[in-house]
Amino acid sequence: MGVLKDHPELALFLCLALGYLVGKLRVGPITLGGICGTLIVSLLMGAWAEVQVSGDVKNVFFALFIFSLGYMAGPQFFANLNRKSLRFFVLCFIELVSVLGIAFGLAKAFDLDVGTASGILAGAATESAVVGTATEAIGKLSDLTPDQITQYQGHVATAYTVCYLFGLITIVLYTSQIMPMMMRINLADASRELWEKMRGGGGQGSLESDERAALPGLVGRTYLVTHADGRTIGDLETGLDGRITVEAIKRGSKVYPAAPNFRLSLSDLVLIVGRRANIIEAGRLIGPETPGIPGLDTPLTSRQIAVTDKATHGLTIDQLQAQHPEFIKDGVYITDVLRGDQQLPANGDTVVHRGDVLTLVGARSGLSKLVAKIGAVVKNDATDFIYLGLGIVVGSLIGQLVVKLGDIPLSLGTGGGCLISGLLFGWFRSRSQTFGAFPPQAASTLKDMGLALFIACTGLVSGPQAWPLLKEYGALLPFAGIAMVLVPATLSLIVGRKLLKIEKPLLVGAIAGQQCSTPAITSITQTAQSSVPMLGYTITYTLSNFLLPLTGPILVGVLGA
């Protein structure tokens, strides 16, 4: 115990390791998760060893977490600010009003202190970021003594832990098991039917991270010229509407470049590249396919580019290729479309948005010409710490602003400020992706580690206050955790079906998203045997991830006044 007290960094990382171990425990479809596990372990260790951790350490980790969260969500958040997604805003609004109203009502009815009420809000809404924004806001209340601030900040962590456990179990069971029964649907069948409708009656879902298409879209083949004897390269490519590209021709022992006026002769060997269906059609016009020919293969270059040209926004891939003849002329193909962290099919009818990342495959010279016209090469190999540091500085400055609503001082604090700056910096980066690199894996690691260590700091400091609070409000906390899930979720279910007419699988996913519950959407997709509910989840999850952390300072400001 003395070692932990003298070396808080040892206690901090021990909480991290043991917390994530506890978080792996599974009961049916429910796991606690690493964050909740870390808080439980750190509360117990704090009560036992009385470890002291500097508040500055906690603030640094929280700033890193909340900025990374905003940075990752920024592009999708602003992309969802459109009329089509407006109905999902209503669900998030229901969530915000409900949890704030219930937390405020419980605080007044049971005479709860500001820390306990904020912890109930954070835990029942299963939004860990509220712990940080509320804790920081409590520290700025001018009419509290230092001892009261420490006590109330400890109450945030304890109330959060209990309410989180009950809120998590409730949202998982309610969305994945009970809601489908209330709507009288089989979630797997409904998801499959909706997917077929969205895909026009065909198509398959997206691949998992460890899967590859057995039949890749872009292929190269060699053919022996029989039917195409006497035709020029240009005539052959035009006859197939430019859907294939002749890369090289071998005649005897010599290899010739594919010039448009080059005339094919009987027994020539031709290398063509294109999409599979077009290659098969080309084979019927040229002759029989042959094995790979030594010396005839031509290397193709692959490059990821971010679409920055405003004129390309809203075009389908077919329209984009028609607008830029270089695609066909130089044999360049779009093989993948990445929007945020979503992989889209590179079909001709896929609509391209500004900020999308396209994977282009073709000859190096052709690629260079196209990149200059429609976008810029993505630079995402190393974190741009200039951009990252500047973003956190801007967020901290935003958090210092205080706005008075009557006699109530409201401030976003460092957490809310860094969340807003993260959204803006992430969105601005997505517009060109030539600066401000923050690779997704690095951002995700910094986000998860920042939150986990912030939670560990909070738990270690709050441990001594945990048991007295549990004895005083033991029965209230589980009730609050369940009620603050059921009320907004049920209201959203009714409004989503009756007024907004949201498709049932999307609605279930959206309700899990408004609660920011990753375990819930995991259970839903397992029940649905489909990723379709994720389409609703991603919109509300992004919005609630931005809006819910702001409820912490609002509640503290109102109750503190």
Residue 87 CB coordination number (10 Å):
17
Q: Taking residues 375-397, what's their average pLDDT? A: 85
- Per-residue model confidence (pLDDT) at position 511: 93
- One-letter amino acid for residue 209 of the chain: S
Is it the case that residue 177 has pLDDT exceeding 70?
A: yes
Mean pLDDT, all residues of the chain: 80
Residue 249's H or E segment, with its range, is strand 244-251
Residue 347 CB coordination number (10 Å):
15
pLDDT confidence of 541, banded at 50, 70, 90?
confident
- Per-residue model confidence (pLDDT) at position 454: 80
- Per-residue model confidence (pLDDT) at position 94: 93
Nearest to 455 by CA among 113, 29, 122, 77: 122
Decide which of 332 and 16 is more confident.
Answer: 16
If phi over 0 gives left and psi between -120 and 50 gives alpha, with beta otherwise, what is residue 389? alpha
- Per-residue model confidence (pLDDT) at position 354: 76
Question: d(Cα 327, Cα 360) in Å, to the nearest integer?
Answer: 10
Is it the case that residue 394 has pLDDT exceeding 80?
A: yes
pLDDT confidence of 60, banded at 50, 70, 90?
confident
Sign, CA torsion 545/549/555/561: negative
Which tens digits make up the pLDDT trace of 223-272? 999 988 889 988 888 877 767 888 888 888 888 888 888 999 998 998 88
Which tens digits make up the pLDDT trace of 27-54? 665 666 777 788 788 878 877 777 777 7
| Bridge partners of residue 304, in order along the sequence | 359
Tally the C-alpha atoms within 13 A of residue 29's C-alpha that lie toward its C-beta.
Answer: 20
Q: Do 42 and 463 touch, CB atoms closer than 8 A?
A: yes
Question: d(Cα 249, Cα 456) in Å, to the nearest integer?
Answer: 65
User: 228 CB contacts (<8 Å, ≥6 apart)?
Assistant: 236, 264, 270, 285, 286, 287
Which tens digits make up the pLDDT trace of 433-454? 777 888 878 888 888 888 788 8
- Per-residue model confidence (pLDDT) at position 201: 43
Residue 474 CB coordination number (10 Å):
10
Nearest to 539 by CA among 90, 62, 33: 90
Question: d(Cα 413, Cα 35) in Å, to the nearest integer?
Answer: 22
DSSP letter, residue 118 = H
Residue 467 CB coordination number (10 Å):
12
Which residue do the tokens 């409904």 mark? 190
pLDDT confidence of 341, banded at 50, 70, 90?
low
- Per-residue model confidence (pLDDT) at position 205: 47
Which tens digits make up the pLDDT trace of 309-326? 777 777 888 888 778 777
Which tens digits make up the pLDDT trace of 509-533? 899 888 877 778 777 877 887 777 8
CA–centroid distance for 96 within its chain: 21
Decide which of 341 and 181 is more confident.
Answer: 181
Question: d(Cα 3, Cα 336) in Å, to the nearest integer?
Answer: 53
pTM: 0.65
Nearest to 445 by CA among 20, 129, 12, 68: 68
Is it the case that residue 298 has pLDDT exceeding 90?
A: no
pLDDT confidence of 216, banded at 50, 70, 90?
low
Is it the case that residue 67 has pLDDT exceeding 70?
A: yes
pLDDT more than 70, % of the chain: 85
pLDDT confidence of 84, banded at 50, 70, 90?
low
Which tens digits make up the pLDDT trace of 268-288? 998 888 777 788 888 888 999
